[in-house]
Structure 1
Amino acid sequence: MNTTTAATQANVTVATIRTWCRRGVVAATKLAGRWNIDAASLARRIVIGARMARPTTRYTVTEGTNQYGATTYTVTRTDGTPAGYGPGKDSRITDFVFTRLERAETGAALLNTLPDGYYVRKHEVRYHRSSINQNHWVWRLAGGDDNDPHDVRGDRPLDADKDEVVEYLVRCATSHAAGTADRIRAKAEQDAIDAAETAVREAREAQLTEARQQKGPLATPRQVDYILSLLLSRLENGEGGGFFTGPTDRAGIETLSKREASSYITSLKGDY
């Protein structure tokens, strides 16, 4: 079938059908510059689209006029919930007022189709100090689980084809949602590890503070490293003895006073 017939059956625009053909969403062949769409493939795509759609429309488009008398198209809640912030209001549609019907229809379709917890915003992409790229508006994907450490990502041009925008952003949101549980679990595990390491560091600092109060200034890092090198050398050479014995690990050596560390070094070197 041709693109016009396919668009009628799928209830989409001819431009959307052409996009599906180019991207392989439906099976089609091109002859003399015209697409010939496989009917069975189109039927499968229509079924997939129906599955993606929610059974009850929650957002619709209403027509009105602005203060200058121009026609506007506003995305509204079908249950009458007003736009705005705070209890009993829907912040998702606070700025969903358009002068083009196509944009409003895209916004409503996105809000009706995106997985629970996800929504879109109108977002202006700004290019600083550039004479080539102009600022432009996009549909920006947002939402997801508040505990997810990774924000959802996805942008499409504001004037892109409705079905292409919905298909792409729904795919982004669905993919993000599928990994949410794993990311939250990994974050919780890492937080537990970080908390345990912090507890160990704090306990160690408390131990060193107590040692300073009892002994005064503790061994310097240079003394600690030197003692460890001497201990390693004696271990390799099989030597022993000395009039002063002490700890053999870094944690223990760090609790020695500077005087004790100096005596330990003298003993290990045999300078007595």
Structure 2
Amino acid sequence: MNTTTAATQANVTVATIRTWCRRGVITATKQAGRWTIDPASLARRIEIGARMNRPTTRYTVTTTTDIYGRPTWSVARTDGTKAGFGGDHRINGLTFRKQEDAETAAAITEALPDAYWVRQHEVRYRSALTENYWVWRLGGGDDNDPQDVRCDVRLTSTRDTIVQHMVKAAQAHAAGTADRIRAKAERDVTAAAEAAVREAREAQIAEARQQKGPLATPRQVDYILSLLLSRRESGEGGGFFTGPTDRAGIETLSKREASSYITSLKGDY
């Protein structure tokens, strides 16, 4: 990544990016007078800067009760914003039977980039010989990103370990988002162009079939191509019937035309 792209992503000037590079604030190498910046390192620096502009604590744990009057603990925003539709989707449904689980969920959510969220997930096995277990599972990211983020950490891990792994996975995933979206757009353009070519070819074949009747069989097409190759290699020519020399053209011949073409190429006349 060059300094211009990095400056755009970080919403700072190019001069600031160069200063970060010189001071080792972000990981970068200099070749031929130009800085090449590590995207993951820049993403971490952007996240650090974003945290500095956030309230000290955005998420807290509140005590509630379920419909049976049993105590539960939920993750809530300190600014009063509601979770779910119209609010912070990342904490929708983060209600737990154990206070320590809610506190861990709040700590993870606090540390994650805004596009990412976490939930508890049970890993199940089909075999009765293997015991199921629960993990914290990372999700989210840019909706246009073709690659899902995946990071599972067992519930039995320490809170610091869980937060560290989740944040690292989210940052690594976020760092490659732009490249993946761009690559997918390029693949989509290529696929659309190929589809257009196929449709045009199918229309051409259909028109030839309507005008000529049954077209050359795949076996005839392959045989003609092999005969043409042999004649090119041997330098032979002549014949009373001429025709196309590429597969696309040969495929539009009628079966009778293909048969005559084969006879001409073989010299059986």
Normalised-by-shorter TM-score class: 0.7 to 0.9
**Residues of 2 paired with 1:212 and 1:265: CA distance?**
20
Q: TM-score, normalised by structure 1?
A: 0.75
Deviation of 1:52 (Å): 8.6
> Which is higher, the Rg of structure 1 or of structure 2?
1
Between the two proteins, the alignment pairs up a number of residues equal to: 221
Q: Give the corresponding residue for 1:238.
A: 235
Match of residue 41 from structure 1: none
Aligned to 2:114: 116
TM-score (norm 2): 0.76
Shift of 1:237: 2.0
Q: Pick the aligned partner of 1:141 from 129, 133, 138.
A: 138
Counterpart position of 1:79:
79
Identity of aligned residues (%): 69
- Equivalent residue for 1:261, pick from 254, 258, 263: 258
- 2:98 is equivalent to residue 100 of structure 1: yes
Structure 2 match to 1:45 = none
Structure 2 residues without counterparts, runs of 5 or longer: 1-44
More deviation, 174-183/66-75: 66-75
Superposition map of 1:28-43 within 5 A? none
Structure 2 letter corresponding to 1:82: K
The match for 1:164 is 161
Query: Which one-letter code corresponds to 2:153 in the other structure?
Result: R
TM-aligned CA distance change 1:261 to 1:65, over 3 Å: closer
Are 2:59 and 1:62 equivalent residues in the alignment?
Answer: no
Q: Structure 2 vs 1, CA of residues 139 and 187 (structure 1 numbering), >3 Å: closer, same or farther?
A: same
Q: Is the 8 A contact 2:91 2:117 kept in 1?
A: no
Cα deviations by residue, 1:15-66 (Å, 9 ceiling, x for unpaired):
xxxxxxxxxxxxxxxxxxxxxxxxxxxxxxxxx9x95993322210112344
Question: Does the alignment pair 1:152 with 2:149?
Answer: yes
Residue 131 of structure 1 pairs with residue 129 of structure 2:
yes
Q: Could you tell me which runs of 5 or more consecutive residues in structure 1 were left unpaired when the two chains were aligned.
A: 1-47
For 1:203, the equivalent position in structure 2 comes to 200
The letter for the 2-side match of 1:191 is D
Q: Per the alignment, do residues 98 and 68 of structure 1 end up closer, same or farther by CA in structure 2, a change over 3 Å counting?
A: same
